[in-house]
Structure 1
Amino acid sequence: MTKILVIEDETSIRENILELLKAEGYNALAAENGQIGLQLATEQLPDLIISDARMPKLDGYGVLTALRSNAVTATIPFIFLTAKAAKTDLRQGMELGADDYLAKPFTRGELLRAIATRLEKQAAVNRQSQQQLNNLRTNITLTLPHELHTPLNGILCGSQLLIDEANDLEPQEILEIAGDIRTSAERLSKLVQNFLLYAQLELIGTDPEQIEALRQNSRTDSAKNAIIDAATQKAKQAGREMDLVLDLQDASVSISQKKLQKIVEELVDNACKFSSPRSKIRVASKYENSTFVLFITDYGKGMTVEQIAMMGAYMRFERKLSSQQGPGLGLLIAKHLIELHGGELEVDSIPQEKTIVRVALPIAN
């Protein structure tokens, strides 16, 4: 049964609302002032709160401020009741995070419609959050065993070969096998780190407070330097230093240097994987409508419209047709990081010709 808390200091109004809610089948709770209401809200965790704005001891604004500062109660829908329809009062409530307001006197229909609207919107948010968690569980269940098995198998086979043939192997052969083991171990380590980061970003994306915390104090003073370091290092690892072309304008952007470099690393890594050696990989940036825009272009196999549309789910494109690891998880991590910081990622590609990834990030104040 849906639980609704009513915080109202006027006895007649409070009792009328309670009677109405109970008649409609709601589990209704009541508090005669803000202090009691706040205590009930934290103890009972109602599905919705209806509160008068002006009350003694602790007014509705104080109640809302306290609720929004508590992670447990921060997302409870909140409807203000106000005797005034002054714009200043309404704006104050909305700025604090109120979901709706009703000006007294209000009708039975107005109250019920406001309640139904807020509950449905909250239900939609909950469904979306649950779907994201379900997708996360499904993606990890289906893909994690396969992705981990490949490098793990390389480590097991290489180490077993050293054990079985140690007396017959030449020093150079031992070094080569050890190098293969190290390469597999590094790939395994990156996969584990990326899966953990992916899971963390999925969970952050369901919590407005965590999104806000992520954005606060996130700043890179020189995006150009951070991009050069990340792109150059990734191209060097792939043996593609001579293919890298940099054309960068500098800016201060609203994302930490570590996360900006993670984005660049994943996007340049994909560009290296899906283009041939000695073909150019262009990394450029510019100002565009007071936004910092980064372009990463490769002239490789490209992506189809269908593949771009399916970017929201972790998958490896053309797994049976290509020996390269697909763009799925790295591209998805980059997309999540960008969107969580108020930016956007777009992919434009011509199959067998080129792919352009456009990243837009807010300029830091």
Structure 2
Amino acid sequence: MRIKRVIIIIGLALLVVAAVTGFLFFGPATKATADGFFYVKSGSTLADVKKELVAQQVLNGTGLFSTVSNMAGYEQVKPGRYKIPSGTSIVNLVRLLKNGRQTPVSFVITKLRTTENLASRINKHFEIDSLAVIHFVADSLQPYGLDSNTYMAMVMPYTYDINWTAGPRTIFDQFYKAYETYWNDDRKAKASAKGFTPLQIVTLASIVEEETRDNAEKPNIASVYINRYRKNMLLQADPTVKFALKDFGLRRILHGHLKAVSPYNTYQNKGLPPGPICTPSLESIDAVLNAPETEYIYFVANSDFKGSHIFTTNYTDHLKYAKLFQDELTRRTKAKQAAADSTAAQ
């Protein structure tokens, strides 16, 4: 009876040990980071990974992690961005890191204007340094048939799933693939029918994008610039002056601004600028591709300041509506200054 009792006690003890061990190995062990991801930088060692797991408070300690890593043969570190939910077990954590099952970054392209803007955005979301992006744009665009002036045309306004560790070539390959997919035979035919290449369409669309947020007005604005281009007129697009000056906060283009020396200044240079002045939305590209045939040559913001424009076919009418807008702008500016002065005097 005593032997049987001892055997039962030993058996129960072994079950307890097994249960505790199982819980330690397979039970919840991690805490989530602030953004839910754990980052392993390129060149990291296993010691670096352990240090970061504690530093980012994913684990309180790495003793058990080391044990499981040894048992699993986790030695070769794979850099990446890993989603580690709170309560992940040690076993699953080691498996995740060992297998390199990183979660891609959902990289959203919205309006960008300069290489520096793009480089900064990429640096914010990926491991890559912004200078590496700038150097890539300067030296490595030849395979795409584009250059530092034109490459923005291929940075389409999509969401791209790209690994955090991706280099500039991988990222730009994704851009180019999307660009090639967008410019199917049907869209190329539409561009050709209007007398433009896809690159020229995107360049025009970038100007339309900067002129208005109203998608309903974009086709008519596109028709104005298409008509000026066909008549060999100066495009005289204010957004190109802002781009030439790299002053995107300008609210009022003055005569002095129009003299800016730059191939992008369409008040000084006929034809299209050397490339897009921003990454246009799909609505703006479609507005150019599907621009109606009009006789509009001019447009000016409506003096009611509701965001719409008045389109005209002759300069006399244009000047009339332009004066109404400028007079109202001056009135509003003075009223705002008077209100500020009154507040300061109180």
TM-score normalized with structure 1 length = 0.22
TM-score normalized with structure 2 length = 0.23
Higher relative contact order (CA 8 A, sep 6+): 2
